[in-house]
Amino acid sequence: MKFLDEAKVYLKSGDGGDGVIAFRREKYIEFGGPDGGNGGRGGSVYAEAVEGLNTLIDYRYAQHFKARKGGNGAGSDRTGAASDDVVLKVPVGTQILDEDRETLIADLDEAGKRVLLCQGGDGGRGNAHYKTSTNRAPRRADKGWPGEERWVWLRLKLIADAGLVGLPNAGKSTFLAAVTAAKPKIADYPFTTLHPQLGVVRLNATEEFVLADIPGLIEGASEGAGLGTRFLGHVERCKVLLHLIDGSQADPAGAYRLIRHELTEYGAGLEDRPEIVVLNKLDAMTPQARTSRMKALERAVGAPVMLASGATGEGVPEILRRLMDMIRAKG
């Protein structure tokens, strides 16, 4: 299934049904009287977070959602039928923004969470409603109230316990494939991953967590360069960051500082998120290079770093155990 994390949709709730003018003309009712019924309520438009979805691809081609008009009233004081509501099913983690793409309407971060986006119009009053002691035969009935309409943006921010960040070709996809059942594209060129990938890491029968592979970031990502801020948004949901550094490159400390700078510039608390720094591609380094690059990276981080090889699995179990412990600590 194609991944889509942003969509613009048009919504319109249903107009209320019209009230009617009607009078009773029955054989044994001497004076008859008004009995025009009220109109029915128009359908409303809701958005609801549901399990089992992880993309907004359903809203790529179907972009207009309109609820039906309420039924008109009828004689014998009959009220028009209310119309069904329209419910947009979206993945858990979807944010709904106004047309300006900045004003947050709702954040559907839990399954079952629902928000009203357009209220259906109320039905108009029939002439029976206007009967009084001094106005015995009113000839007034109201049109239904109009529904609401608006454009909104749906923006998905994946909910994962831990997020893989790093420069392109840091080995994130290889690591994800090694520890989960996910099948990300893996190749020896940058930007192999163009969309976030999710996988479930199972340590044992009782311990598991969701790991997200975020597409590679580059210098200027926080200002829109490369894949830009679009995918930095997915990192916001992660409790812990797993920062992979390509150990086969000459300056791992510089790579670390670059990504940390982009996370800080983006904001949203990413710079304070707990992280595990891993010097990856252990199998591609000589013992001498491993020692020197690890020391340089530890000086840049200011804390011990871990070593791993996603290709061979060396060091991976220790990283997963530490990730699990940190996720539990975050609650």
Residue 234 is labelled as binding a ligand: no
Classify 316 as helix, strand or coil.
helix
Residue 226 is labelled as binding a ligand: no
Residue 167 is labelled as binding a ligand: yes
Residue 170 is labelled as binding a ligand: yes
**Interatomic CA distance for residues 80 and 72, integer angstroms:** 5
Residue 276 in contact with residue 243, Cβ under 8 Å? Answer: yes
Burial of 293 (0-12, 13-18, 19+ CB in 10 A): buried
Residue 104 is labelled as binding a ligand: no
**Interatomic CA distance for residues 11 and 19, integer angstroms:** 25
| Range 197-200, long-range pairs (CB < 8 A, 24+ positions) | 197/173, 198/54, 198/158, 198/160
Residue 8 is labelled as binding a ligand: no
Residue 129 is labelled as binding a ligand: no
Residue 127 is labelled as binding a ligand: no
Residue 42 is labelled as binding a ligand: no
Residue 66 is labelled as binding a ligand: no
Residue 281 is labelled as binding a ligand: yes
Residue 291 is labelled as binding a ligand: no
- Which residue in the block uniquely carries the two structure tokens 């200027």? 220
Residue 222 is labelled as binding a ligand: no
Residue 168 is labelled as binding a ligand: yes
Residue 199 half-sphere exposure toward CB, CA atoms < 13 A: 20
The neighbouring-strand residues paired with 245 are: 279
Instruction: For residue 235, give Cα distances in angstroms to 61, 124, 213, 249.
Output: 27, 49, 10, 25
Residue 215 is labelled as binding a ligand: yes
Residue 216 is labelled as binding a ligand: yes
Residue 228 is labelled as binding a ligand: no
Classify 261 as helix, strand or coil.
helix
* Among 76, 88, 87, 54, CA closest to 234: 54
Residue 195 is labelled as binding a ligand: yes
**Residue stretches of the annotated binding site for GTP:** 166-173, 191-195, 213-216, 280-283, 309-311
Binding-site entries for Mg(2+): 173, 193
| Residue stretches of the annotated binding site | 166-173, 191-195, 213-216, 280-283, 309-311
